[in-house]
Amino acid sequence: MNIIVCVKQVPDPEIPPAKFKIDTETKKVIPPPGVPPVISVYDERAVEAACRLKDKHKGKITVISIGSEKAIEVVRHAISMGADEGFVLQDEPFENLDSFGTAYVLGKAIQKIGNYDLILCGRQAADWGAGQVGSILAEILGLPLVTFAFDIQLEDKRFKVKRILKDGYEVVEVPMPALMTVSSEIGLPRLPAGMGLMLARRKQIPIWKAKDIGADPTQLDKTKAHTEITEIFIPKRETHCELITGATPADAAANLALKLIKLI
Amino acid sequence: MEQYKGVLILGEIADGKLAPITSELLGIGKKLADELAEDLSVLLMGGKAGGLAKEAIAYGADKVYIAEDSLFDEYNSDAYTQLVANLCQKVLPSILLIGHTDIGCDLAPRLNGRLGGGLAMDVNELSIDHTTKLLVSTRPIFGGNAYARVISKTARPQMATVRSKVFPPAERDESKQGQVIPVEEKVDPSAIKVRVIERIREEVEGVKLEEAEVVVSGGHGIGSAKNFEMLWELARLLGGTVGATRRSCDEGWIPVTRQIGQSGKVVSPKLYFAVALSGAMSHIVGCLGSKYIVAINKDPEANIFNIAHFGIVADYKEVLPALTAKFKELLSAK
Ligand SMILES: Cc1cc2nc3c(=O)[nH]c(=O)nc-3n(C[C@H](O)[C@H](O)[C@H](O)COP(=O)(O)OP(=O)(O)OC[C@H]3O[C@@H](n4cnc5c(N)ncnc54)[C@H](O)[C@@H]3O)c2cc1C
Ligand SMILES: Nc1ncnc2c1ncn2[C@@H]1O[C@H](COP(=O)(O)O)[C@@H](O)[C@H]1O
């Protein structure tokens, strides 16, 4: 089975909120110094989903990422987990794309790679989190779509997929090839180890430009973007936390109960 | 672009009635439509949709599109996308509002892909810019650490998904008149590629999270599934229920349906206990509507202390049993 996974590099979303800074002028986030960017959380789980399928059915996993040259790192991470190869899509017209632009570029790269049975995306990127690139990509490629997948099985050339709902889940069946967006309920991703790490270090990761994938520049014209961000801001929160103390933690707890009982 | 007019709501039906999200969308939709001096319409789909048209009109709809077909009683992504896309291509709404529900989260981005519109997901504010007359949507970015205002200059429809309880429901007006328009088109069965085999609803123990007055949430610091029992004891005593962070769900200590936050549930209890969780914004956006947030964490620097109203800096294992015991004592004396 041939699987293509779309992975994005994002600023580490797990930094403490106090370290999260934005530049309201340029409408950009200021990455905290010294904290390296990471593979977007759900994309890492999409790689995990691909690896589980490969463990069972054999096949090849290709990862692609639109980003800066540094995005090579997230492609290497995916390879260290078990992916076979990867490409970084880096070019000036690929910068600051909206969801349609992103899906268009991914679609072009996927068509160039060709020969796929399954395409996996994360359900949402951990940075700007539009939550729609996978679905738009399915429409562009004309593929059946399953969103929020957390268990993917292959049965007789069809996929049987569990997708998460707010109060349970749904089991659906789709033909191959298909596109799925992966949700975190699939479980924790594997840790890169031994062989994988070595392969990842050695692997050549080509960089593709607009001309390499035959991207039509008019499709990437920023003045025709479907959505535009006009402002970003951090809401002010002014809560004062009253710390409850006591001679021991148990005393503090008793004092807290005395306080709260009056409020409920 | 000028041919795109009006606000269209994607209605949802639950238990044979208009779902609460639909009256909420009609409420905000009416405000936006009034500002544009345009019509408010709603699409209702399902075998019994026709019977709800009057109700939708009372909630402010000028036009109700009815796709009366039991094919739509259960959500199917392919069928819904096709029907709604066809209707939008005919009616040409300028704005399309959809619930940030199981249905909406799947349908909206795909519909957007098909229509070539401009979509903002999970918005918490919607307004019309007075000079440009464009829809301005505000949505969380970076896991709720910040917010962005988003517009679509030329792409239509301008779309947004909205969580339930973000906007108040529309006011009812029994005397309101409106037009009921049947949607005649049928879905092409060959376009249905995804087949739903079964849908499993998890039975909830006790009170539903969204309705609970007290929620005791546990983070990664809880350490094991067994330790969650301590949280249950407090929750049961106070007539509440238990929630969790994603890290606790990832560990398998508690079912994923109890996750609170951006990619989980949004709760608004009177009392929210945040126990051994750090207070990542993507978790906090799920409980900001709580009246009082109480933090128990051993790290005084944890972000949760910037959010909470009351806090204890200590190991939760030394706090929770004493807290439950004291509540028991106080409640029995009441
Ligand atoms: C796109 C995206 C969406 C996300 N959606 C969600 C979501 O919907 N919901 C969600 O919860 N998360 C979500 N997350 C994850 C989120 O960013 C955090 O990783 C997660 O909330 C952290 O969980 P935690 O607080 O349990 O763990 P940690 O951050 O590891 O915190 C554990 C805390 O426990 C404390 N502690 C440890 N031991 C004890 C003890 N014995 N007594 C007292 N305190 C103790 C520690 O001091 C620490 O503060 C999302 C992330 C992304 C990127
Ligand atoms: N720059 C990118 N490179 C590769 N994949 C991406 C990129 N942006 C988004 N994606 C994919 O699309 C998913 C959803 O992203 P979004 O719609 O931006 O929240 C992500 O989880 C990725 O799988």
HEC profile of chain B: CCCCCCEEEECCEECCEECHHHHHHHHHHHHHHHHHCCCEEEEEECCCHHHHHHHHHHCCCCEEEEECCHHHCCCCHHHHHHHHHHHHHHHCCCEEEEECCHHHHHHHHHHHHHHCCEEEEEECEEEECCCCCCEEEEEEEHHHCEEEEEECCCCCCEEEEECCCCCCCCCCCCCCCCEEEECCCCCCHHHCCCEEEEEEECCCCCCCHHHCCEEEEECHHHCCCCCHHHHHHHHHHCCCEEEECHHHHHCCCCCHHHEECCCCECCCCCEEEEECCCCCHHHHCCCCCCCEEEEEECCCCCCHHHHCCEEEECCHHHHHHHHHHHHHHHHHHC
A110-137 pLDDT, tens digit each: 999 999 999 999 999 999 999 999 999 9
Contact call for B202 and A167, based on CB within 8 A: yes
Which A residues, 65 through 104, put their C-beta within 8 Å of a C-beta on chain B?
Answer: 99-100, 103
Minimal Cα distance from A100: which residue of B? B113
How far out from the chain centre does Cα B183 lie? 27
Distance B77 CA to ligand 1 centre (A): 33
Q: How far apart are CA A148 and CA A168, in angstroms?
A: 12
Q: How far apart are CA B254 and CA B218, in angstroms?
A: 9
Nearest to B147 among A165, A169, A235 (CB): A235
Contacts 24+ apart (CB under 8 A), B176-180: B176/B57, B176/B58, B176/B60, B177/B57, B178/B53, B178/B56, B178/B57, B178/B61, B178/B62, B178/B63, B178/B64, B179/B62, B179/B63, B179/B64, B180/B50, B180/B53, B180/B57, B180/B63, B180/B64, B180/B66
Locate the ligand 2 atom nearest the alpha carbon of residue A137 and give its number. Answer: 12
**Mean pLDDT, residues B225-243 taken together:** 97
Distance B61 CA to ligand 1 centre (A): 42
**Mean pLDDT, residues B303-314 taken together:** 97
**What band does A22 get if pLDDT is binned at 50, 70 and 90?**
very high
Q: Which of B88, B105, B165, B254 to mutate to test the interface with A (most CBs of A within 10 A)?
A: B105
In chain B, what residues touch A260 (CB-CB under 8 Å)? 271, 292, 294, 310, 327
A208-230 pLDDT, tens digit each: 999 999 999 889 998 899 999 99
Whether ligand 2 lies within 6 angstroms of the CB of A124 is answered as yes
Contact call for B323 and A231, based on CB within 8 A: no
Tell me how close the Cα of B100 comes to any Cα of chain A, in angstroms: 11
Q: How far apart are CA A46 and CA A190, in angstroms?
A: 11
Please provide the DSSP assignment of chain A as one string.
Answer: -EEEEE--EE--TTS-GGG-EEETTTTEEEPPTT---EE-HHHHHHHHHHHHHHHHH--EEEEEEES-GGGHHHHHHHHHHT--EEEEE--GGGTT--HHHHHHHHHHHHHHH---SEEEEESS-SSS--S-HHHHHHHHHT--EEEEEEEEEEETTEEEEEEEETTEEEEEEEESSEEEEE-GGG-PPPPP-HHHHHHHHH----EE-GGGGT--GGGG-GGG-S-EEEEEE--------EE---SSHHHHHHHHHHHHHTT-
Q: Which of A145, A155, A188, A234 to mutate to test the interface with B (most CBs of B within 10 A)?
A: A145
Q: What percent of chain B has pLDDT over 90?
A: 97
**Mean pLDDT, residues B263-289 taken together:** 96
| pLDDT score at B1 | 77
Contact call for B113 and A138, based on CB within 8 A: yes
A175-206 pLDDT, tens digit each: 999 999 999 999 999 999 888 899 999 999 99
| pLDDT score at B300 | 97
**What band does B167 get if pLDDT is binned at 50, 70 and 90?**
very high
Nearest to A257 among B112, B279, B326 (CB): B326
| pLDDT score at B2 | 84
**Mean pLDDT, residues B284-302 taken together:** 97
**What band does B205 get if pLDDT is binned at 50, 70 and 90?**
confident
Nearest CA to B274 out of B291, B257, B285, B287 is that of B287
Whether ligand 2 lies within 6 angstroms of the CB of A133 is answered as yes
B79-138 pLDDT, tens digit each: 999 999 999 999 999 999 999 999 999 999 999 999 999 999 999 999 999 999 999 999
Residue with the nearest Cα to atom 14 of ligand 2? A124
Residue with the nearest Cα to atom 23 of ligand 2? A121
Q: What percent of chain A has pLDDT over 90?
A: 92
**Mean pLDDT, residues B151-171 taken together:** 96
| pLDDT score at A236 | 87
Q: What percent of chain B has pLDDT over 70?
A: 100
Minimal Cα distance from B116: which residue of A? A226
Average per-residue pLDDT for chain A = 96
Structural contact between residues B129 and B136, judged by C-beta atoms closer than 8 angstroms: yes
Distance B267 CA to ligand 2 centre (A): 28
| pLDDT score at B333 | 87
Tell me how close the Cα of A50 comes to any Cα of chain B, in angstroms: 18
**Mean pLDDT, residues B30-37 taken together:** 98
**Ligand 1 pocket residues where CB is under 6 Å:** A 13-14, 41, 124, 126, 129; B 143, 219-221, 245-248, 259-264, 276-278, 280, 282-283, 286, 297-299, 302, 315-317
Distance B247 CA to ligand 1 centre (A): 6
A35 touches chain B (CB under 8 A): no
Q: Which residue has the higher pLDDT, B203 or B212?
A: B212
Whether ligand 2 lies within 6 angstroms of the CB of A75 is answered as no
A125-172 pLDDT, tens digit each: 999 999 999 999 999 999 999 999 999 999 999 999 999 999 999 999
| pLDDT score at A211 | 97
Chain A and chain B share a number of CB contacts under 8 A equal to 260
Q: How far apart are CA B172 and CA B29, in angstroms?
A: 14
Average per-residue pLDDT for chain B = 96
| pLDDT score at A237 | 81
- ipTM rounded to 2 decimals: 0.96
Q: How far apart are CA A157 and CA A144, in angstroms?
A: 14
In chain B, what residues touch A258 (CB-CB under 8 Å)? 326, 330
